[in-house]
Amino acid sequence: MSFVRKSYLPETSPPLLSVGVLGWLKANLFSSVGNTLLSLLGLYMLWVIVPPLIEWALLDAVWQGSGREACLVENAGACWAFVAAKFGQFMYGRYTFEERWRVDLVFLVGALTVGLLMIGRMPGRRYLAVFGLVIYPVLAYFMLTGGAFGLVEVETSLWGGLLLTFVVASVGIVVSLPLGVFLALGRRSKMPVMRTLSVIYIEAWRGVPLITVLFMASVMLPLFLPPGTNFDKLLRVLIGVTLFSSAYMAEVVRGGLQAIPRGQYEAASALGLGYWRTNLLIIMPQALRLVIPGIVNTFIGLFKDTTLVMIVGLFDFLGSVQVNFSDANWATPQTAASGYAFAALVFWIICFGMSRYSMRLESRLNEGTRRA
Amino acid sequence: MRKLVIWNDPRYRAWFFQILAVLLVGGFFATVIANTVDNLNQLNVASGFGFLQHTAGFGISQTLIEYSEASTYGRAFLVALLNTLLVAGIGIVFATVLGFLVGIARLSSNWLVAKLATVYIETFRNIPLLLQILFWYTAVLSNLPAPRDSMQFGGMLLNRRGLYAPAPVGEPGFEYVMLAFAVALLGIIILRRLSERKRMHTGAGLPVLFPGLGLVFGVPLLVFWLAGSPLHFEVPQLRGFNFVGGLRAVPELLALVFALSIYTASFIAEIVRSGIQAVNWGQSEAALALGLRRPEVLRLVVVPQALRVIIPPLTSQFLNLTKNSSLAAALAYPELASVFAGTVLNQTGQAVEVLAITMAVYLSLSLLTSMAMNFYNSRIALVER
């Protein structure tokens, strides 16, 4: 029996191409002829796009300067000096210079509140939510408009930049939420009249583009009111945006309502609760929790759509960027591209951040249901 | 059972609230209408739709049908409507193709391709559409060369005045070629029917692909040759500072189509990805176990089921694209929101009528789409036991 081995052979290492970096490359990029071609195509696209972009945005970019001369050099890349010089306008529009600390304060308090609320389990979260939804809007209103408590009044026609974008988007979402809840309840109501009215309202607003709604708000709304009444352009736009987004909000809330099992309604009526108490105490707390991701998504959509207010003559963030292109002191071939790139970056960071947050919320909500 | 007091009876309550709602809504509209009439009288603005017959007196840079400054507002409306449909049509085609490519790429086993697709989607859907439109228009297209140093690809010319292409002009006899094409299409349909019938009887169908291709290309080409090539191309010519002749797409149209397709494609890609992922892997395994080949598995099992998930959100994206084409108002591309709700409204001052017509157009487009959608849904809905 001398041919039986008594010991194991020493292990040889696996083939070079199946482990480590090379193995990963082979499995993920070069597994077949077609895949190799695709990878090469992808690499080529990267090579075409990325180096020129880095060159334009970083290497050749002009970072400092006080006028167009700085950016008119040979082969200049992005003119970030323009963005730096106009940064105040991009953020606040023409808001009175000495009063800008008020905007900063409102932004800061808002960011803190939202940030703390997002942390999750925190003592006193309930009070913070009440502060954010009830006290904060009032505070923000007085801080931004002024005219009371010894603050100088700042007309809304001076508001602009990122400030205006945030004002339009947040007012739109906060006011449209209760409207949307009522409309969603109406659409699911057993009373035919309520149902028809809600359906007509929702479908009519969802069927038209926001821009026509804004035209309507700025041109037709004054005609609808008793002769002689006239009001703020910003308020008109806010009304238009709110009515528009309430229709979308209604559909989001309806989605949540449809996910509530019938047993919840039956149990509530077995306990002797009427329509309003059933909805207020039993259904809505569950349904609204389900649709938080949907609400965040609506908010992202609305946030992007606020750029349209520039078409009716308000200077939101994009509008403020755009209006500064006509400044002769900064007229260079790169001004427009740099301004748009900066605006795109700001919008992207905000929207991408929110969509990630909504995805995290969604998975956290799913966790709860999976455990049950 | 004790009789309910009338105000506690749910039926009477329902009636009461519904009548109240009708009264409130009716009263609201009555006040609004009364106020509007008062306001319009004070402002001395004419009302009614008579203005549609008045001369418009402004030019439009891109028109699909004949239009001049002497045409009526009604004609301007038609031009604008067709331009809206043009942008929407082109945009939908490009967005669908790009969206399907990116959506499939995102599911690719190739790491690089999948990551590139993800970057594409996350970049473009998180940047406002208006910004993208303005970027293409102001930062890219207006930096193109002047007409005399146009960029050329094939027969097409690109410069800062737009994209020029040779225009096909049919000569007498060309209608026979079109007819032959229609006949060939009909032939394919018949061929498919026959093949299907034979498959039902014998299990093996007729070959369809190559005879079909032969029909579609061969028959019209044969007729084209027989009729003596009745077609020539009108090539754009440089006259002075500009090109004359041929087909021209103004830069506004290009910027809109680029931005709309790229933006919407990022949403379509996600729809396609989720649609494909929604088809259970077991379906493919079962189909393979039944002896179907890979392409057949895709064509007969996976795609039909994925489409059921994909198509409803896809149509709503098409609708979004159509509605978003109204952002042309920021570029002065002559479509509905910019010509009709912009120029015509400013010239006539008849805000109520003009906006009502504009909104009615968009509204009927979306209602038509959702009706078609509901019809399609009821046809493909799973028949459950």
The shortest C-alpha distance from A149 to chain B (Å) reads 37
What's the average model confidence in pLDDT over A214-238? 83
Q: Which of A327-331, B24-28, B155-159 comes out lowest in average pLDDT?
A: B155-159
Q: Which residues of A touch B132 (CB under 8 A)?
A: 344
Band (A371; pLDDT cuts 50, 70, 90): very low
Establish if B63 belongs to a structural domain. Answer: no
**DSSP helix/strand/coil, B262:** helix
Domain match, B81 and B146 both: yes
Band (A153; pLDDT cuts 50, 70, 90): confident
Establish if B281 belongs to a structural domain. Answer: yes
**In chain A, where are the structural domains located?**
80-95+154-371, 96-153
Mutation target vs B (from A82, A168, A212; most B CBs, 10 A cutoff): A212
The alpha helices in A55-99, defined as continuous H runs, are 68-71, 80-92
What's the average model confidence in pLDDT over A193-207? 90
Domain match, B219 and B102 both: no
Q: Which residues of A touch B143 (CB under 8 A)?
A: 333
Q: Is residue B330 less than 8 Å (CB to CB) from chain A?
A: yes
A26, pLDDT greater than 60: yes
Domain match, B148 and B279 both: yes
In the prediction, which pLDDT does B153 show? 75
Nearest-CB residue to B341 (from A197, A215, A223)? A215
Consecutive H or E run containing B152: strand B151-153
> Please, which contacts does A127-136 make with residues 24 or more away whose CB atoms are closer than 8 Å?
A133/A174, A136/A109, A136/A110
CA distances (Å), A293 to each of A144, A198, B338, in order? 29, 23, 35
Domain match, B147 and B271 both: yes
Q: Which of A62-66, A95-99, A212-216, A275-279 comes out lowest in average pLDDT?
A: A95-99
Domain match, B14 and B137 both: no
CB contact under 8 A, A336 and B139: yes
In the prediction, which pLDDT does B289 show? 94
**CA neighbor of B159 nearest in space, from B145, B171, B169, B170:** B145
In the prediction, which pLDDT does B270 show? 92
Q: Which residues of B touch A223 (CB under 8 A)?
A: 35-36, 39-40, 351-352
A356, pLDDT greater than 80: yes
A252-266: buried (b, 16+ CB within 10 Å) or exposed (e) per residue?
A: bbbebbeeeeeeebe
Establish if B253 belongs to a structural domain. Answer: yes
- Token pair belonging to A212: 């026509």
What's the average model confidence in pLDDT over A228-256? 88
Q: Which residues of A touch B127 (CB under 8 A)?
A: 304, 344, 347-348, 351
Structure-model confidence comparison of residues B275 and B210, the more confident one: B275
In the prediction, which pLDDT does A232 show? 82
Domain match, B27 and B84 both: no
Nearest-CB residue to A38 (from B110, B129, B134)? B110
CA distances (Å), B294 to each of A125, B187, B307, in order? 55, 28, 18
**Using the 8-state DSSP alphabet, how is residue A75 labeled?**
T
- Token pair belonging to B248: 């021209």
CB contact under 8 A, B128 and A304: yes
CA A63 – CA A52 distance, rounded (Å): 18
The shortest C-alpha distance from A13 to chain B (Å) reads 26
Q: Which of A163-167, B156-160, B197-201, B256-260 comes out lowest in average pLDDT?
A: B156-160
Mutation target vs A (from B11, B22, B126; most A CBs, 10 A cutoff): B126
Domain match, B95 and B83 both: yes
- Burial grade of A139 (CB within 10 A; 0-12, 13-18, 19 or more): middle
Q: Amino acid identity of A212?
A: T
How confident is the model over A113-128, as pLDDT tens digits? 888 777 766 677 777 7
Residue of B nearest to A351 (CA): B126
Phi and psi of B231, rounded to 5°? Answer: -155, 135
Domain match, B207 and B287 both: no
In the prediction, which pLDDT does A120 show? 65
Q: Amino acid identity of B159?
A: N
Q: What is the mean pLDDT of chain B?
A: 84
The alpha helices in chain B, defined as continuous H runs, are 10-43, 73-106, 111-124, 129-134, 174-202, 209-213, 219-226, 251-278, 281-289, 294-296, 303-324, 345-348, 351-380
Stated pTM of the model: 0.85
Establish if B57 belongs to a structural domain. Answer: no
- Token pair belonging to B112: 């690089």
Phi and psi of B311, rounded to 5°? Answer: -65, -45
**CA neighbor of B329 nearest in space, from A339, A214, A324, A325:** A214
CB contact under 8 A, A225 and B35: yes
CB contact under 8 A, A42 and B126: no
Q: Into how many domains does chain B fold?
A: 3
CATH class as words, domain A80-95+154-371: mainly alpha
- Token pair belonging to A168: 């339009």
- Please identify among residues 285-324 of chain B the ones whose CB lies closer than 8 Å to any CB of chain A: 323-324
**Domain span at residue B204?**
168-230
Domain match, B102 and B239 both: yes
Structure-model confidence comparison of residues A152 and A196, the more confident one: A196
Structure-model confidence comparison of residues A233 and B172, the more confident one: A233
Q: What CATH number corresponds to the domain at position B249?
A: 1.10.3720.10
What's the average model confidence in pLDDT over B164-179? 78
CA B67 – CA B78 distance, rounded (Å): 10
What separation, in Å, do the N-terminal and C-terminal C-alpha atoms of chain A show? 63
DSSP string, B202-240: HS-----HHHHHIIIIIHHHHHHHHTT--EEEE--EEET
Domain match, B373 and B308 both: yes
CA distances (Å), B262 to each of A167, B94, B132, B136, B183, in order? 29, 8, 9, 11, 36
Single residue among B182, B211, B230 that ends a domain in this structure: B230
The shortest C-alpha distance from A225 to chain B (Å) reads 6
Residue A129: CB atoms within 10 Å: 13
Domain match, B266 and B346 both: yes
- Please identify among residues 197-236 of chain B the ones whose CB lies closer than 8 Å to any CB of chain A: none
Residue of A nearest to B320 (CA): A209
Domain match, B91 and B135 both: yes
CA A217 – CA A233 distance, rounded (Å): 9
Beta bridge partners of B242: B239
How confident is the model over B68-109, as pLDDT tens digits? 777 888 888 888 899 899 999 999 999 999 999 999 888 888
> Please, which contacts does A50-56 make with residues 24 or more away whose CB atoms are closer than 8 Å?
none
CB contact under 8 A, B323 and A192: no
Q: Which of B109-123, B234-248, B257-271 comes out lowest in average pLDDT?
A: B234-248
Establish if B61 belongs to a structural domain. Answer: no
Establish if B55 belongs to a structural domain. Answer: no
